[in-house]
Each structure stands twice: as structure tokens, then as C-alpha cells.
Structure 1
Amino acid sequence: MELGLNMLITPLLKHWKFALLTSAMISLLITLGFWQLSRAHQKKDLLETYLKRIQTTPLTVNALNQLNNPLFFRVELNGYFDNAHTILLDNKTYHSQVGYEVYTPFLAHGITSPILVDRGFIPIGVSRESLPSIKNMGGEMTIIGLITKPPKYATFSTTEEALAWPMRVESIDLARLATKLLSKPLSPYILKIDPQDSRAYPITWTIDTLRPERHLGYAVQWFALAIALLVSFVFYCRNNA
């Protein structure tokens, strides 16, 4: 046993810099593994919250205003659309078609800030040089939708043109868009219109996030790399004893 320890300790003392670097790398890989496990638990809780809340009866404005976190609740709003300021989120797909996600501000009674409503998907049309025709949602109306956060990523957009409406954008930046809309803040959330609404474009309710299983897979990879690095280091020490 003493001989075995000497076979490991001697290379450690001889190559202490390499040993220190290996130790740091293993610690980093283990930390990343536990971080991914934590993310998996967070996503699991998020999905459970989503599945629970979408089953509830649509909230009224009064009930909505009393919530600290309205995410994933269904809500019923009364008001009207600001059709003059429709936004087209670029590079979206629906059933293998490429196009845009249509967003229009909704001024709801009882809510101070306009809320962007995701009205669904529209195909790109004949050419990217011209934008598709968007139907107006005129008059006062009632809509039901799902409270969500703005989508995080989108690509392949043309450059925004100031005061050009509909405005084609590559991402939903609420603070930036607010300066181009009504010169006042927008709601920090968006509303995905009910897929059953006959006035909506095709739309699905999904969560824009990785599933817990993906994070668990990443955690396994980080831990496996840490083990592989440790085993390689042990063999190195033995071979250089």
C-alpha cells in the first residue's frame, strides 16, 4: 500500500503545476454538473407551474393586478388593439413554413401599460422584400390569452427602420419597442392569444425553454468528463512514478 501511495505522490510533487491544473479542471466540471442539476430542478418546477396554471379559469383584470407573478395564467381582457403599431418577429416557423410571429399592442381596461399580444404565425409570402398583409383587429373587444415572457431568440432579420410599420424585428425588446410605440412602458409580459380564437392566426402554447431532461443529460456529460479526467490523471501518475 505504501508503494502504491508513493507511486501517486511522487509524480504529484514532480509535476505539481499539472496536478494543480487538473484539480482545478475537475472542480470546474463537477461545479458545472451540479449547476445543470439545479437548472433541471428549476425547469421541472417551471413546467409543473405551467401545466397547473393553464388549467385554471381565465383571470379578470382585478385578479391579475393582485398577482406578483402572473406568468402562465390565462386572463380575459377587455379593450382594443393598437393596429397602427404591429410588430413582426422574424424567422419563425410553423409546420415547416417560414414566416413571422405577429404582435400587436393591446390597450386593456384596468391595466396601465399596453401589453403585446402574440396573434400567431403568418407565412413570409412571395418575397422578403415585401411584408405580408396583416388584418386589423378593429373596435373594442374581449380576448383571452396566456401570460408569458417575450421570446428570447430570433435571427435573420432585416434592419429595423424607425417608424416603419409593421416593424420587422429580430427579437422582442420591450423597453426599446416602448420608445417606438406609445412613448410609455409596455407590460413586462406578453399575451399569447387563445388558439381557439377565430380572429387569431395559427398559434400554439408552448414554453420557450429547455426541458429538464436536457439539463440532466448535460449534467451527466460534465460528471463523466470529470471522472475521465481523474482516471487519466491517475494513469499518468502511475506511468510516471
Structure 2
Amino acid sequence: MTVRVVVADDQELVRAGFGMILDAQPDIEVVAEAGNGLEAVEAVREHRPDLLLLDIRMPVMDGIEAARIVCANSDCRVLVLTTFNLDDYVYDALRAGASGFLLKDVRRDDLVHAVRVVAAGQSLLAPAVTTKLIAKFTSGAPPRSAAPPLERLRVLTTREQETLRMIARGLSNAEIAQAMVVSEHTVKTHVSNVLSKLGLRDRVQAVITAYETGVIVPGE
């Protein structure tokens, strides 16, 4: 199965470089390029790709707003590009629905691997790394959930709420299974139910939700 990708970056050389690397793979096809956020949204609408590789800082419409629109209106997965000095934007991009992020100086093999991982429906970040990232940007901030925490989580069973806490602490499925004394298959079912009931795209958003609803607090 070929992964269809749109590459969006306002720097032509960067955009072309990423495009050439990805297009050289037998299982990846770059179907369009975009030089700003609005063009990225339009390219996704026209070409219906599996993944949007999206720079955060772009003219006309920034990557965060573009990610929000794309994630709300399509099944396209979003992988954002950033630099160390743009870390403050990463959390907002993940909240907008992005499934992970890459630094712009990413190595060729890591770029290809990231595209395949995210296109396959997984989050790019390892659970422990995700936890540290989200904790950093939620530290000291009040919950931002639209619904009261207890009311929002009431749709989850006790086991599913426990699973959400463990996801937020950075535990893998195998570690959750060991802690709960159940099979990994059972854990996968719990994780799937958590995502489905809360309307979340992946584990990254589950971690964000756990912090925003107060299920777990930074440093816990």
C-alpha cells in the first residue's frame, strides 16, 4: 500500500528536499507540495492524502491552524515540522490533532520512518517522551477541557480510566498489561475504547486529555 503525502513548508529548498527523499521510497508518493498553511489545507482537500508533513511557522495561515482544519475535516494524519526554538508551538499542534513532530534537521532514514509510523495510525513520539512534552506545556495551567473533567470521563469504565492514567504516565501496552495483570490484547481493547469514547485520534491526544482533565498532574 502506497502512503500518499502532502509536504507543506514555506522554504522551497526544504520542501523540495523532503519531497525528493520521500518520493524515492517505493511505498511513499508525494502527491502535492504547499508553500503556506492555506495551500496545505487546499491540497489535502483536493488530493486526500494519508499524511500531511506540515511546517508550523508559515505565511497566510500557520501550521497550527492548518492542522486544526485538516484534522477536523479529514482522516489525514498530520506530522509537524519544528525547530528547537519553536518548542512552544508543539503542544498547540498536538492539541490541534497532530500525531507527532519532527525537527527540521531530521535524518533521512528517520524522516521516512516517521512518515510510515504516523501514516499507519500510530503516534510518532514514544510514550515517555510524549509525557515529558505534555507535562512541560501543561505545568501550572488549569484544565482546558470544554466539559467538566468528571463528566467528560464518565463514559469510561473504571478499567478504561485506569488505562488512561497509565497511558499518561508513559506506560506501553505491555507495561499496562503487567500492571493490570491482563493480556496485551485486553489492554489494546481498553486503549481503543478510551480513544473511541473520548473522540481522540491517538495516544498523544489521550495524554493531553489526561492532563487537561486533571486525571494526572505534571510530576505525578
Asked if Structure 1 and Structure 2 have the same fold, meaning a TM-score greater than 0.5 normalized by the shorter chain, the answer is no
Larger RCO (CA within 8 A; separation ≥ 6): 1
TM class, shorter-chain normalised? under 0.3
Larger helix share, 1 or 2: 2
TM-score by length of 2: 0.22
Which structure has the greater CA radius of gyration? 1
TM-score by length of 1: 0.21
Larger strand share, 1 or 2: 1
